[in-house]
Amino acid sequence: MGFPAQTIGDLKNLARRRVPRMFFDYADSGSWTESTYNANETDFSKIKFRQRVAVDMTDRSLGSTMIGQDVAMPVAIAPTGFGGMQHPDGEMLGARAARALGIPFTLSTMSICSIEDVSEATGGAPFWFQLYVMRDRKFMHNLIDRAKAANCSALVLTLDLQILGQRHKDARNGLSAPPKINFNTVWQLASRPQWCLSMLKTRRHTFRNIVGHAENVGDLSSLSSWTAEQFDPKLNWSDIEWIKERWGGKVILKGIMDAEDARMAAASGADAIIVSNHGGRQLDGAPSSISALPSIVEAVGDKIEVHMDGGIRSGQDVLRALCLGAKGVYIGRPWLYGLGAGGEAGVRQALEIIRKELDVTMALCGERDIRNVGRHNLVNPGVFSE
Q: Where are the alpha helices (DSSP H) in the chain?
A: 8-18, 21-27, 35-42, 83-86, 90-101, 115-121, 137-149, 168-173, 183-190, 193-199, 220-230, 237-247, 259-267, 289-300, 315-323, 333-364
Establish whether 307 is a catalytic residue.
Answer: no
Which residues fall within 8 angstroms of residue 299, CB to CB, at 6 or more apart? Answer: 259, 262, 263
* Distance in angstroms (rounded) separating the CA atoms of residues 378 and 372: 13
Which residues fall within 8 angstroms of residue 321, CB to CB, at 6 or more apart? Answer: 290, 293, 308, 312, 329
The b-or-e profile of 66-103 (16+ CB within 10 A means b, else e) is bbebebbbbbbbbbbbbbbbbbbbbbbbbbbbbbebeb
Whether the CB-CB separation of 355 and 62 falls below 8 Å is answered with yes
Whether the CB-CB separation of 216 and 222 falls below 8 Å is answered with yes
* Distance in angstroms (rounded) separating the CA atoms of residues 32 and 36: 9
* Distance in angstroms (rounded) separating the CA atoms of residues 43 and 386: 15
Q: Where are the alpha helices (DSSP H) in 4-88?
A: 8-18, 21-27, 35-42, 83-86
Reference 290, options 301, 276, 304; nearest CA is 276
Task: Give me the numbers of helices (H) and strands (E) for the chain, helices first please.
Answer: 16, 10
DSSP 89: T
Q: Which of 87, 278, 307, 376 is catalytic?
A: 278
Whether the CB-CB separation of 368 and 59 falls below 8 Å is answered with yes
* Distance in angstroms (rounded) separating the CA atoms of residues 89 and 200: 11
Compute the chain's Rg from CA coordinates. Answer: 20
* Distance in angstroms (rounded) separating the CA atoms of residues 386 and 383: 9
| CA dihedral sign, ordered 254, 257, 262, 264 | negative
Q: Which of the residues are catalytic?
A: 278
